[in-house]
């Protein structure tokens, strides 16, 4: 099992905001193990998905050169449950970035087949930027990041912070293969 | 300019939100680490919130002087030397460092910052 709790990005504005979706299916183990015979998406994994949405936004902002980790959940309010067949939409905004860490806020929605979005959760969280004392700790390779970001369509939908200029893959990605 | 009482009230609210503590736990004498359970990421959270609440800029090293506490010039055998203590007092005039100076173990530093220190620090910034 891979620790991916997003399926793809729909919006990605470098260092500003991102929107990602997670399609819930009955084929996922946790749907059976969380509450047996009551398949419901665990809120903890939704938080992880939101953390990945804003975390990857921050990783891209630093061009994958910093180690970014979820450090604190300041607020997490859930309004309802999500079931197999539902699509969760995570809309994250970076409120503050500095060299030590970031604050981001996110709302999650359940997207209905007609496109209507119902508020599912409100979250605020912090990511830490690990300092040099963690330089010997391996996180992801450049190849890992490229595969992740390309598969999640970041460079299909991404724009720079100005909201207009198309987001290009960094040179490190292009030099692989 | 807000009074010290108004600054205290705002800091109290900030710490209640950032640390999940009760309002009555946030007294002037309460230390952020030992009494209120603040961890390293909480300090960043608190700094962000105070900057927003008071519209000020807080250089991280003014409140959390890690550069002094990790400098080979200022630390000997895990304790701050006299030069280090002098530098710390210069950097943090708002903090009562007398007790810390009696046995200035670097690892104990996190336990000295009180809510009252933060009030005086913010007051110096908004003045």
What would the pLDDT profile of A158-169 be if each residue is shown by its tens digit?
A: 999 999 999 999
The catalytic site residues of A sit at 34
Q: Output the domain CATH number for residue A50.
A: 3.10.129.10
CATH class of B4-126: mainly alpha
The mean of the pLDDT values for chain A is 93
Does a structural domain hold residue A57?
A: yes
Does a structural domain hold residue A78?
A: yes
Mean pLDDT of A41-64: 96
Task: Break chain B into its structural domains and give their ranges.
Answer: 4-126
* pLDDT at position A1 over 70: no
User: How many interface pairs between A and B have CB atoms less than 8 angstroms apart?
Assistant: 19
Say which of B17, B18, B60 has its CB closest to residue A100.
B60
Q: How many domains does chain A have?
A: 1
pLDDT given at position B112: 86
Residues 6+ positions from B95 with CB-CB distance below 8 Å: B112, B113, B114, B117, B120, B121
- Percent of chain B's residues with pLDDT above 90: 66
Pairwise CA distance, residues A168 & A159, whole Å = 8
The minimum CA-CA distance between A71 and chain B, rounded to whole Å, is 7
Check CB contact under 8 Å for A72 and B60.
no
B60–chain A Cβ distance below 8 A for any pair = yes
HEC assignment per residue over chain B: CCCHHHHHHHHHHHHHHHHCCCHHHCCCCCECCCCCCCCHHHHHHHHHHHHHHHCCCCCHHHHCCHHHHCCCCCEECCEECHHHHHHHHHHCCCCCCHHHHHCCEHHHHHHCCEHHHHHHHHHHHHC
Angle at A52 between CA A39 and CA A134, to 5 degrees: 130
Check CB contact under 8 Å for A126 and B60.
no
Check CB contact under 8 Å for A101 and B44.
yes
Helix H or strand E encompassing A160 = none
Residues 6+ positions from A39 with CB-CB distance below 8 Å: A26, A31, A32, A83, A84
């Amino acid at each position: 099992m891979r620790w991916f709790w997003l399926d793809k990005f729909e919006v990605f504005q470098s260092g500003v905001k991102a929107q990602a979706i997670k399609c819930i299916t009955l084929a996922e183990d946790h749907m059976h193990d969380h509450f047996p015979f009551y398949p419901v998406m665990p809120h903890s994994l939704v938080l992880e998905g939101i953390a990945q949405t804003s975390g990857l936004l921050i990783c891209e902002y630093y061009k994958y050169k910093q180690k970014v980790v979820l450090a604190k959940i300041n607020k997490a309010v859930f309004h309802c449950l999500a079931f197999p067949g539902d699509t969760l939409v995570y809309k994250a905004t970076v409120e503050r970035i500095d060299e030590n860490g970031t604050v981001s806020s996110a709302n999650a929605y359940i997207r209905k087949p007609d496109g209507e979005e119902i508020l599912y959760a409100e979250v605020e969280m912090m990511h830490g930027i690990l300092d040099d004392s963690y330089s010997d700790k391996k996180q992801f390779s450049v190849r890992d990041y490229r595969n992740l970001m390309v598969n999640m369509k970041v460079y299909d939908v991404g724009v720079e912070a100005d909201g207009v200029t198309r987001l290009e893959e960094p040179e490190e990605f292009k030099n692989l293969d | 300019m807000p009074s010290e009482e108004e600054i205290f009230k705002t800091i109290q609210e900030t710490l209640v939100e950032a640390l999940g503590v009760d309002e009555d736990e946030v007294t002037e004498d309460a230390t952020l680490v030992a009494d209120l359970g603040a961890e390293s990421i909480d300090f960043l959270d608190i700094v962000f919130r105070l900057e927003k609440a008071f519209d000020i800029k807080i250089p991280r090293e003014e409140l959390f002087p890690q550069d002094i506490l990790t400098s080979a010039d200022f630390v000997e055998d895990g304790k701050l030397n006299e030069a280090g203590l002098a530098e710390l007092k210069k950097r943090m005039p708002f903090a009562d460092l007398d007790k810390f100076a009696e046995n200035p173990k670097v690892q104990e530093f996190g336990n000295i910052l009180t809510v009252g220190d933060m009030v005086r620090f913010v007051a110096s910034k908004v003045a």
